[in-house]
A and B are shown apart, each in its own frame.
Chain A
Amino acid sequence: MSLGHVHAQIDRYAYTNALTKNSPVTKIFFALSTLIICVTSPSPLVPIIVFLTTTTLLLRFAKIPVHFYWSLLVYPTTVVIASCLIIALFFGYGETLVAIVLPWFSWAVFKNGVTMSITTFFRVEGALSCLYFLVLTTSVTDILITLRRAHIPMILIEMSLLIYRYIFVFMEVAAQMYTAQKLRLGYSSWKKRIRSTALLAGNLFIRTLEQGERTFMAMNARGYDGNIRTLDDLPRPRMLSLMGIIFFDVILVFVAIMTMHSWVL
């Protein structure tokens, strides 16, 4: 699976998952509040609860296929494991678990280093699941309209809107150019590969300029006056869901405080 393909897939689920009809406000609120509690929690217990909850929501309620969710988790998780191993083996101070002391070299694994590594691992996994929840259940359109309601500056929203739309157009153009170059042996040696990549990037840049000009013309033809107006007809957030999320967050904070001092190896 290429990276572009994964992005297109995520986008597809964002528009087709079983939670599309729920208010984006609810979904964004859930993802962000849980994310913040998750990464600030001192013990791994809260991140574990968060991970299990969001994963259940994604698989059971949003109906995201397990294998796709799994494939999204695998790559970052390998990086996280590697980083956490480094933390466990080389960080920390105080009480040691293992120590090797030689006259010219000493190395030790510290208790709090391992603690930190485990906490970090679960925090990252919990945070990942929150973000995946957001991107897999909420389309970019909905997020942008919600941000507009939150009075984020228009220029940022309009730019994101256009960038988002044309990423897909240019991904297609780039793929076509790449195939055309490949068919004429543009990638057959290391040197040619560098040259072809440079040509592709340069050409793509020119194409974006031309596209910009044409799109501007087309927008003018439909009465564009400097403001991109969007139709705001998102479903209203349900009070019950919002209350539920707040309740869930309170429990998480409570658990975090309770386990603050008890969590040490």
Chain B
Amino acid sequence: MPFRLENVSYRYSDGTLALDSVSTNFVKGKRIAILGPNGSGKTTLLLHLNGILRPTSGRVYFEDSPLEYTSKSLLRLRRRVGYVFQDPNDQLFAPTVKQDVAFGPLNLGLPTDKVKESVSEALEIVGMSEYSDKPPHFLSLGQKKRIALAGVLAMHPEVLVMDEPTSNLDPRAAIRILRLLLQLNQKFGLTLILATHDVDTIPLFANKLCILSKGKIVLEGLPEETFSQTELIRSLDLRSPRIAHLFEILRRENHLPIDKQLPLTIGEARKEILRLLDSKNMIEKEGKSYIEARTRKVNHT
């Protein structure tokens, strides 16, 4: 179990309580999405995971030992827990792509050959090899994000923490990053912890969802289960994925016999629609349309 948070609270120096005794577990190899409206404390929570912020009270455990904040143990932690910042301009400081990606491995004290190997490998993974000698200001935002990711991957972390991986990206770049992350999880067993408010993409990658509101975790579990609690989600200034919303309306307004667990992705929706059509055909074969009867009944009232 990589991370366990025990009553973690964090108060910024201006007095705002950004985290209010958060307790949770992040299991190894999982793909965890942290969802919350703006200002709910997502970034603050993430910054605790590789020791950049130190909880005002409470404790963070990594592999069952509490984090220590000496520079030596932080260095050890940061080798294993990579953090990708939301704005790649915060992270990319070196004059060329290659130099930036090499920064982490060089700090680990690896020999030059090893560093070069890690750099080219990381750039290969994110598909940016041909840009290695370019300065970051020549690149688009999507490309910069991938370089920022490569800079962390070059350190061979076991856990990847990423703040808003898809924010401000065009749909293609967003999908590309998500696919990449999914691959990293499936191929290399990287634990993913991603903060986002892009609800539609969560079901595409996450197998655990934590919903954060006003510094507290209010809901956590499988995305399908969590998103089915539509009333609660709406009360938190969030929404369910569009597809789930559509099926919820179909169930409520048109009384279609839809599963209790709403479909969240296009694939799931397709399955559910086919299932509905199938059962409708069955009913029609028996001579009466179940659904039509239901709708007529609704129209009468």
A residues apposed to B, CB below 8 Å: 8, 11-12, 15, 20, 139-141, 144, 161-162, 164-166, 168-169, 172, 211, 214-215, 217-225, 228-233
The distance from the CB of B191 to the nearest CB of chain A, in whole angstroms, is 16
Cβ-based interface call for B145 (8 A): no
Cβ-based interface call for B106 (8 A): yes
Contact A12 B96 (CB under 8 A): no
Contact B104 A222 (CB under 8 A): yes
Contact B78 A222 (CB under 8 A): yes
Apart from A165-B93, A218-B83, A231-B116, what are 12 other A-B pairs with CB-CB below 8 Å? A15-B138, A141-B99, A144-B95, A161-B93, A172-B137, A214-B90, A218-B85, A221-B85, A222-B78, A222-B104, A223-B108, A229-B107
Cβ-based interface call for B50 (8 A): yes
Count how many chain B residues have C-beta atoms less than 8 Å from C-beta atoms of the other chain.
40
Q: Using Cβ atoms and an 8 Å threshold, which residues of chain A touch B93?
A: 161-162, 165-166, 215, 218-219
Contact B90 A161 (CB under 8 A): no
Of the candidates A140, A219, A221, the one having the most CB atoms from chain B within 10 angstroms of its own CB is A221
One of A15, A222, A230 near B155 (C-beta < 8 A): A222
Known: A165-B136, A222-B78, A229-B107. A215 touches B95 (CB 8 A): no
One of B71, B91, B106, B115 near A218 (C-beta < 8 A): B91
Kindly state the separation between the CA atoms of A140 and B94 in the bound complex, as whole angstroms: 11
The distance from the CB of A149 to the nearest CB of chain B, in whole angstroms, is 14
Contact B95 A233 (CB under 8 A): no
One of A11, A219, A223, A231 near B135 (C-beta < 8 A): A11
Known: A11-B135, A169-B89. A231 touches B112 (CB 8 A): yes
Kindly state the separation between the CA atoms of A172 and B98 in the bound complex, as whole angstroms: 22
A-B interface pairs (CB < 8 A), number: 106
B residues apposed to A, CB below 8 Å: 47, 50, 52, 71, 75, 78-79, 82-83, 85, 87, 89-96, 98-99, 102-104, 106-108, 112, 115-116, 119, 133-138, 151-152, 155
The DSSP consensus for interface residues of chain A is helix
The distance from the CB of B91 to the nearest CB of chain A, in whole angstroms, is 4
Q: Using Cβ atoms and an 8 Å threshold, which residues of chain A touch B104?
A: 222-223
Q: List 25 interface pairs A-B (beta carbons < 8 Å), by A numbering.
A: A15-B135, A20-B133, A140-B95, A141-B96, A144-B95, A164-B95, A165-B92, A165-B137, A211-B89, A215-B93, A218-B91, A220-B52, A221-B50, A222-B82, A222-B83, A222-B151, A223-B75, A223-B78, A223-B108, A223-B155, A230-B106, A231-B98, A231-B116, A232-B112, A233-B116
Known: A214-B85, A215-B90. A161 touches B95 (CB 8 A): yes
